[in-house]
Chain A
Amino acid sequence: MSVLLQQLVNGIVQGSLIALIALGYTMVYGIIQLINFAHGEVFMVASYGGLATFTLLPDDLKKSPAVALPLMFVGGIVVAVVVAVIMERFAYRPLRNAPRLAPLITALGVSVFLQEAVRVWYPNATSNLPYPKVFPEGNLSLGTISVPWTGVLLVVLSVGLSILLQTYINRSRMGRAMRATAQDPDTAKLMGVNPDRVIVLTFVFGAVLAGVAGVMFGGYLSNINIDMGFQNGIFAFTAAVLGGVGSIRGAVIGAFIIGLIKTLAGQYMPGGTQYDYVWIFIVLILVLVFRPQGLFGEPERVRA
């Protein structure tokens, strides 16, 4: 029983991480129907950005987590945002009216490029890099279960930022412009919405969340490597699809489900953790085949 509870909690923590990334997928898809395959790499780059920020800090600041940690978040987020904006401007925007295959292949190219750029240019990136210990240490113990404080922070950040994002999109002027563009770009344009600005902003929001996720990933798992983007990107994409692409709430719930599947399958399914990925991919396929609109999406009307 306590194993089950522990795995449930672990699943929720992992789900929180996936949720932060999944939001980026779901928002971009909602606005321009692009599977931004490179979003996972934005998350990875952000993680290295946070690490680089720490490395560049003067020694006395390194010793004070209260200063170093926020700066690392800022560093990670800035790197993620810069990469995302460049990517949108130079890789995706020229293809906005191209057939759908083209941007998807471009996204694959961006993904390979980012991963390799980090591998080649970041010092020692070929092996696992330890993440600095500036995060709250120790565990929160509740009876037999224990959660690292980094995990708690991750859940809090993830849920908090999702609510913030949801509120922003529902309440603000810009959020309204985003929803309008998602539903009908042409009409939104006629109503004076600048689609370029909306799209860039969508990428920026996604990148900010991926930045937070990247730094927290380092804190939670204590080391990072260049494969983290691809793996977690796929998880996050699965989560977004599971929740119904385009829906913020769906992406978050989908992410928790994926987190739980991963930890529970690793514990209870044959093959253990070696096959936990496989179960997630199977879920992905089943959802796409049998409920492509996602668990919480509206079914699309038959069109002729």
Chain B
Amino acid sequence: MSTVDTTSGKRSALAPFAKPLAAVGGVLAIVAALLPWVTFTLNDGNWPDKSTLQFFDAPFAVTGFRWHLLLLGVLILVAAFAPIPSRGRVVRALGWGVAVVSFINGAYITAKGGGLGAITALDGATAFGSVAGLVAGVLTILAGYGYGITPVGEWKFKPPTPVAYLVLLVSFAGVLLAVAAMLTTGGVGTSNPYAGAIFLSFLGFAGGVLGALSGVGFIRWLSVLSEEHRVFSVIVLAACALLLPFTDAGNEYWMTVAANIGIYAATAIGLNIVVGLAGLLDLGYVAFMGIGALVAANFSGAAAANFGIELPFPVAAVIAAVVAGIFGAIVGSPTLRVRGDYLAIVTLAFGEIFTRSAQNDIGGMTNGSNAIPGIPALSLFGKEFNRELSIGAVKLPAGVLYYILIVLLVAATMAVFANLKFSRIGRAWIAIREDEDAARAMGIRTGQAKILAFLIGATLAGLAGAVFAHKNATVSYESFKFLESITLLAAVILGGMGSIPGAVLGASLLFVLPEKLRDFEEFRLMIFGLALILIMRFRPQGLIPDRHRRAELADEDVGGAPVDEVHAASKEAKA
């Protein structure tokens, strides 16, 4: 069998033009940032940040998306002339950033302004910002291909511990700022008519920069660094997260959203153990969260609860986690005999059995479609978690205590995941994922290991479910249907399988986007389905790929043997 290497040996016809294209693209992006974008003032008010002609009343006050464009343009010029690894990838990513920002703003203005006149020329006024930006983006992308899409740069540099700490600290602080910006940019859904556009445009910018950082090898280097100093990383990340209430995002609305994201992120990290580490596709995972939530609800002392006893939350949470874990082991037990796709279907069947049973109020435990309402809020020292908090002069928004609890939960889940990943059992899981037969030949009891993965994943989901029950005050089977399982799976895949920051990022994106895109609420799930297809097609390794996982789903950046050769070899070995 032979494989044809398609990545090298073929030089792009654009190669000689790469540098001029990038230069023109970069300059044009900067020009676009300074041009007017709208020919008149829209009905809903100025397009964000003075991008109508009024800009010229206040020259050089470049803010918002135009500031982003300006930055991208400068970065393109830097990338075109500075000696950096994998220039093609960097330039391509920046080009996409420019193109997306320009397209989103242009498209929104066109839609809101009632025609292309709004972004070209109308009544003597001209505004070619979006056109120029789009052209700049396309030119830059072409330049990227011209440079050639070479493997991602690999940084061998290993900094001494203090420097590593500093790098991690600065990076995570950057992440905090980015998250706060992501949450607050454009404001809350209904208050700003342009919220959706501002947010999407911001995502385009952030995506471009992230892609460039990833292309140049920084992200990979950072993730290796954070794995080496994982305790420090988790602490710093948690600290950063705890600072969020003190940023612009520190209001009740965002605390609630962030807390919900946290619950799903914790669940997604649990799922990541099963799917990302052990390579077992679980299509009914949200059922374990449901089981945890139902157990906690029944012990909460709510009027509709089945047990008249009210257990303290920690006890109820532990019971919820244990029960979910037991179910996890049961659902996982077919792995002893079933592999691959078939296992995925078994988990789907278990998930559906859960949904059906819960819907029909099995054993009188779930209240069926009436749900279990009125679950009391958690409280500590008489302080209810859903109230405001003031410590001296500092006033914190309502829900901040839940937020803190959930940040701690996520941090704990992350620590569990990281510890397991770098342990005997974690290595066994990865070995099973890579080659089950070889893993057995190394003495790994694969059946036990796989059931353990299901058990631990389910336990974490059960724990998250218990918090979910109190946080939302109501538990209904509706929250734990097939689509939720798919959403969690999508969060794991989008973020990057086996990677912890990936799971958090994936969960954030999937649960923030609907909040931000109220304009598209109707299309939310459709976009979601389309996104799954596109991710699998174009970036199957996810946004922040795990170092181990890189080759598993994608074969684009390969150093040695082409990946499909490896796959073909293992396929041959099985035949």
Asked if B533 contacts A109 (CB within 8 A), the reply is yes
In the complex, chain A residues whose CB is within 8 Å of the CB of B352: 234, 277-278, 281
Asked if A106 contacts B537 (CB within 8 A), the reply is yes
Interface 1/0 per residue, A83-120 and B, CB below 8 Å: 00000000100110111111111101111111111001
Asked if A113 contacts B345 (CB within 8 A), the reply is no
Write the nearest CB–CB distance from A96 to chain B, whole angstroms. 11
In the complex, chain A residues whose CB is within 8 Å of the CB of B564: 97
B357 close to chain A: CB less than 8 A: yes
A190 close to chain B: CB less than 8 A: no
Asked if B537 contacts A94 (CB within 8 A), the reply is yes
Asked if B574 contacts A102 (CB within 8 A), the reply is no
Q: Which of A97, A278, A292, A303 contacts B338 (CB 8 A)?
A: A292
B163 close to chain A: CB less than 8 A: no
A interface SS class: helix
Q: With A and B bound together, what is the CA distance between A282 and B526 in angstroms?
A: 31
Write the nearest CB–CB distance from A291 to chain B, whole angstroms. 10
B553 close to chain A: CB less than 8 A: yes
B408 close to chain A: CB less than 8 A: no
In the complex, chain A residues whose CB is within 8 Å of the CB of B162: none
Q: With A and B bound together, what is the CA distance between A188 and B338 in angstroms?
A: 29
B344 close to chain A: CB less than 8 A: yes
Q: Which of B345, B483, B525, B537 contacts A35 (CB 8 A)?
A: B345
Q: Which of A91, A108, A117, A282 has the most CB of B within 10 A?
A: A108
Q: Which of B281, B522, B575 contacts A101 (CB 8 A)?
A: B281
Q: With A and B bound together, what is the CA distance between A274 and B340 in angstroms?
A: 30
Asked if A99 contacts B345 (CB within 8 A), the reply is no
Interface size on B, residues (CB 8 A): 44
B84 close to chain A: CB less than 8 A: no
Q: Which of A94, A103, A112 has the most CB of B within 10 A?
A: A112
Write the nearest CB–CB distance from A116 to chain B, whole angstroms. 4
Q: With A and B bound together, what is the CA distance between A97 and B337 in angstroms?
A: 26
Q: Which of B281, B345, B531, B574 has the most CB of A within 10 A?
A: B345
Asked if B356 contacts A105 (CB within 8 A), the reply is no
Q: Which of B340, B350, B523, B531 contacts A109 (CB 8 A)?
A: B531
In the complex, chain A residues whose CB is within 8 Å of the CB of B340: 100
Q: With A and B bound together, what is the CA distance between A289 and B337 in angstroms?
A: 6
Q: Which of B338, B530, B532 contacts A288 (CB 8 A)?
A: B338
Asked if B540 contacts A98 (CB within 8 A), the reply is yes
Q: Which of A94, A97, A98, A237 has the most CB of B within 10 A?
A: A98
Q: Which of B483, B489, B536 has the most CB of A within 10 A?
A: B536
B486 close to chain A: CB less than 8 A: yes
Within 8 A of B (CB), among A260-304: 271, 274-275, 277-278, 281-282, 284-285, 288-290, 292, 303-304
Q: With A and B bound together, what is the CA distance between A103 and B341 in angstroms?
A: 10
Q: How large is the interface on A (under 10, 10 to 19, 20 to 34, 35 or more residues)?
A: 35 or more
In the complex, chain A residues whose CB is within 8 Å of the CB of B503: none
In the complex, chain A residues whose CB is within 8 Å of the CB of B532: 105-106, 108-109, 112
CB contact under 8 A between A91 and B345, given known A112-B525, A120-B523, A281-B353: no
Asked if B346 contacts A288 (CB within 8 A), the reply is yes
B557 close to chain A: CB less than 8 A: no
Asked if A102 contacts B533 (CB within 8 A), the reply is no
A241 close to chain B: CB less than 8 A: yes
Q: Which of B338, B486, B493, B532 has the most CB of A within 10 A?
A: B532
Q: With A and B bound together, what is the CA distance between A133 and B524 in angstroms?
A: 35
In the complex, chain B residues whose CB is within 8 Å of the CB of A97: 564, 567
Interface 1/0 per residue, A9-20 and B, CB below 8 Å: 000000000000
B529 close to chain A: CB less than 8 A: yes
Closest chain A residue to B337, Cβ basis: A289
In the complex, chain B residues whose CB is within 8 Å of the CB of A120: 522-523, 526
Asked if B353 contacts A282 (CB within 8 A), the reply is yes
Asked if A105 contacts B493 (CB within 8 A), the reply is yes
Write the nearest CB–CB distance from A190 to chain B, whole angstroms. 12
B334 close to chain A: CB less than 8 A: yes
Q: Which of A101, A102, A285, A290 contacts B349 (CB 8 A)?
A: A285
Closest chain B residue to A108, Cβ basis: B486
In the complex, chain A residues whose CB is within 8 Å of the CB of B529: 108-116
Q: Which of A33, A102, A109, A275 has the most CB of B within 10 A?
A: A109
Q: With A and B bound together, what is the CA distance between A102 and B353 in angstroms?
A: 25
Asked if A285 contacts B536 (CB within 8 A), the reply is no
Asked if A278 contacts B356 (CB within 8 A), the reply is yes
Asked if B540 contacts A285 (CB within 8 A), the reply is no
Q: List 17 A-B contacts (CB under 8 A).
A: A35-B341, A98-B540, A100-B340, A103-B536, A108-B486, A108-B489, A109-B531, A112-B486, A115-B525, A116-B523, A116-B525, A234-B352, A275-B356, A277-B352, A278-B352, A278-B353, A289-B346
Interface positions of B (Cβ within 8 A of A): 281, 283, 334, 337-338, 340-342, 344-346, 348-350, 352-353, 356-357, 360, 437, 482-483, 486, 489, 493, 522-523, 525-526, 528-533, 536-537, 540, 552-553, 564, 567, 574-575
Query: Given known contacts A35-B345, A282-B353, what 13 new A-B pairs fall within 8 Å (CB)?
Result: A35-B344, A105-B489, A105-B536, A108-B489, A109-B530, A113-B526, A113-B529, A237-B345, A277-B352, A278-B352, A278-B353, A285-B334, A290-B337
Q: What 3 A-B pairs are tightest by C-beta distance, nearest first?
A: A109-B532, A113-B529, A112-B529
